[in-house]
Structure 1
Amino acid sequence: MTAWWRTTLAAGAGLAAGVALWEGYKAVGDPRGTELFGVRVLPRASDAAMPHVWDVLERFGRAELTGGDPIWLVVLAACLFTLRNVAVGFAAGGAIGMLLAVLMQRFRIAERGLLPYVILSQTVPLIALAPVIAGWGGRLAIGPYPWQPWMSVSVIAAYLAFFPVAVGALRGLQSPAPIAEELMRSYAAGWWRTLWTLRLPASTPYLFPALRLAGASAVVGAVVGEISTGTRGGIGRLIIEYSREATSDPAKVYTAMIGAALLGLAVAGALALAELLLTRRTAPTH
């Protein structure tokens, strides 16, 4: 059995287990929630809080509003809108993270000076950061083009995406054995040649997992950014809009949540496929 089939079966089994756990808890759970010492430790199992899985799936096929488009089409359009922000943020964050990694590998003083701040940057809560970025962006312009709200969302996505790339790429660039570096020096190879022929190829086992993590982080950043800045058109804003109907139409809320989850899986799957294609192309032939 190939690795692809094993991964597919594992994903299917995990999905089935999640559905079984959801429906099982809904069947035996307390509609008012399970409390321990006055603190609710498990959610309410009522239809308003936890609709049946089949009710959520059935809601995808019905119209969002009377006479409007079906929910699945609205969610798909919102996911595609958010995907643009994710792509821009992932590209910018990946490039910044890679440049920082190369700089820190080249100059040890840069690593000592920058790495603590790179780590510290991830302790700032996005809920507090998003309005600041949106406020600054409102005063900027790119030439004759004014700053657009989706650009603020992409900046937030890049803010989360650069960190795993910077840390993972730095670890990979520092991974070659000393004997390999000595060999490059014996060939009178300069720093740039050593970077391209030794350090970058050696960093791929660390870089690709970092890129997958960066892709997932970019999705989280884009969704939170859309929610925090009020950017319309994306899946983050759709979650907020649908949550207002949680009492009257609880299944509708979960359609947007599932859309956001599927968007994250699609980004991770695309990056995993890119890794598979690149590693197969660069694998040595015998």
Structure 2
Amino acid sequence: MRLARRVGVGLLAVVLACALWELYKLVGPDAGGHVLGASVLPRAEDRAMPHVWDVVGRMLEPESSAAGSPSVAVAMLSACWFTLRVALAGWLAGVVAGFGLAVAMQRSRLTEAAVFPWVVLSQTVPLIALAPLVVGWGGKIQIGSFSWERPMSVALIASYLAFFPVAVGALRGLQSPDAAHVELFRAQAASWWHTFRFLRLPASVPYLLPALRLGAATAVVGAIVAEVSTGTKGGIGRLIIAYAQAASGDPAKPWAAIVGAALLGLVAAGLVSLLGLGLGRYRHTEVS
């Protein structure tokens, strides 16, 4: 029932977003709103904001006029599948790194004081500046028959965004047990591992699951930005760029790719939410 309610709320949010879109198209200015020469409202004309049904209809039409061209929806699904696999690989790496850092910071206050500011500072580096460096470093890695591929750079950049919410959420969860419970384990001479396994890890679940979902969504964002920045072909990021070139004559086409990217983030977060289905007894205090 909880899952059904969340799915229902999600569908309702999509319907509401579409209704707001159409409402703005109805009452918004075609030329947009300007204050002192600065644009403050988007243009409501069809070339800038096509109708929702036009975007959906464009998804079902051929991608181009070439013979045998697949529909936009098929091309979009193929691109999303490529990006999803790369983003999930980056998410897994980010989860391992973030959770490992959280465990190290929880165990040692000195480590937390030394590492946590750098964890926060790492998120201030723009991906557009980081992506070329990662590609350049990765291109020099070759061990025997193994060579660094461009999608690996995309996955690494995705993990860079994914590890932060996991590290922060896991640290907060591991530090959440009451002092009385911690003292009880100490009074029974429980080792650090037993305290971690039977007290801190279960207590961290309500904090960790939302962090994992957020990490999955940010991994998708990182993968899309990395695809655009590194020129990696096959993903939804490059598809958005390719479709944007036809925006003037086919405005619904780029919006179809943008919708696909948004749905991809929701799918990634939804897949991660499945991890919590078997952890219901730990989720009564989950932080959304």
TM-score bucket of the superposed structures, by smaller chain: over 0.9
Answer yes or no: is the 8 Å Cα contact 2:93–2:159 preserved in 1.
yes
1:141 deviates by 2.5
Separation in 1, partners of 2:126, 2:52: 33
1:144 deviates by 2.0
1:235 aligned residue:
236
Answer yes or no: is the 8 Å Cα contact 2:50–2:251 preserved in 1.
yes
Separation in 2, partners of 1:46, 1:281: 50
1:147 aligned residue:
148
Equivalent residue letter for 1:258? V
User: Where do 1:1-286 residues align within 5 Å?
Assistant: 2-66=1-65, 67=67, 68-279=69-280
1:271 deviates by 1.5
The superposition leaves residues 183-204 of structure 1 with CA deviations (integer Å, 9 ceiling, x where unpaired) of 1112211111111111111111
SS at match of 1:123: coil
- After TM superposition, the runs of 4+ consecutive aligned structure 1 residues lying more than 6 A away are none
The superposition leaves residues 86-130 of structure 1 with CA deviations (integer Å, 9 ceiling, x where unpaired) of 111000000000100111111111111000000000011111111
Aligned length: 282
Separation in 1, partners of 2:282, 2:117: 36
The superposition leaves residues 167-192 of structure 1 with CA deviations (integer Å, 9 ceiling, x where unpaired) of 11111111111111111112211111
Answer yes or no: is the 8 Å Cα contact 2:224–2:237 preserved in 1.
yes
Equivalent residue letter for 2:45? S
Separation in 1, partners of 2:5, 2:190: 43
Equivalent residue letter for 2:137? W
Which is worse superposed, 155-164 or 35-44?
35-44
Q: TM-score, normalised by structure 2?
A: 0.94
Indicate the RMSD between aligned Cα atoms, in angstroms: 1.6
Equivalent residue letter for 1:137? G
The superposition leaves residues 217-248 of structure 1 with CA deviations (integer Å, 9 ceiling, x where unpaired) of 10110000001101000001100111111101
SS at match of 2:39: strand
1:4 deviates by 3.2
1:30 deviates by 1.8
Separation in 1, partners of 2:143, 2:44: 50
1:49 deviates by 0.6
Q: 1:55 to 1:218 in 2, by over 3 A?
A: same
The superposition leaves residues 124-146 of structure 1 with CA deviations (integer Å, 9 ceiling, x where unpaired) of 11111111111111111254211
SS at match of 1:41: strand
Answer yes or no: is the 8 Å Cα contact 2:206–2:283 preserved in 1.
no
1:5 deviates by 3.7
1:3 deviates by 3.0
Q: 1:163 to 1:232 in 2, by over 3 A?
A: same
Equivalent residue letter for 1:32? A
Answer yes or no: is the 8 Å Cα contact 2:206–2:282 preserved in 1.
no
Separation in 2, partners of 1:177, 1:33: 54
* Structure 1: gaps spanning 5 or more residues: none
* Structure 2: gaps spanning 5 or more residues: none
